[in-house]
Structure 1
Amino acid sequence: MEKQEKATAYWKENKKYLIILLSIWFLVSFGAGIIFKDYLNNFKIGGFKLGFWFAQQGSIYVFVVLIFVYVRLMNNLDKKYGYDE
């Protein structure tokens, strides 16, 4: 694989991961915390309504998990294309 083709394929896959992970983050933070709040408030977690929980803490937890997922995906991607150190 040529160097330019390798770099193009690397960034294409990287952008795919970013779009997927940012979409998940958007759905959890904006969707669960705002749009689907009324429906989620029918359920409780730890004594709090689920919509409120997502708006206050759940989206932050999901964001932190997504950071670790992104690090793992990028480490695997770097190894796949030979960019690991």
Structure 2
Amino acid sequence: MTFPDGRTMTTLAAIVEATAFEIWDDDRMLVTTDRGKWEPLGDEIDELTERDWIRVGIDSLEVTEAGRYWLKRYETRKVTK
């Protein structure tokens, strides 16, 4: 298993921690967490969606079980390295 780059994994972590989000008409989004705001890049959203780690709807943003699983594996891997 090859993980996406660090920024994409940070995007996944931000979505997991999200307290709010906005999806704009131009398909950009803003994710708000307790630590601040994060604007994911389109390529990051595409990759996470293709891996079925997130689902994005018109007014919804959801992390799948697979997304939570792989984020936990990634974070554990970073700590033990």
* Structure that is richer in strand per residue: 2
Which structure has more relative contact order (CA 8 Å, sep 6+)? It is 1
Give the alignment's TM-score, normalised by structure 2. Answer: 0.32
Structure showing greater Rg: 1
* Structure that is richer in helix per residue: 1
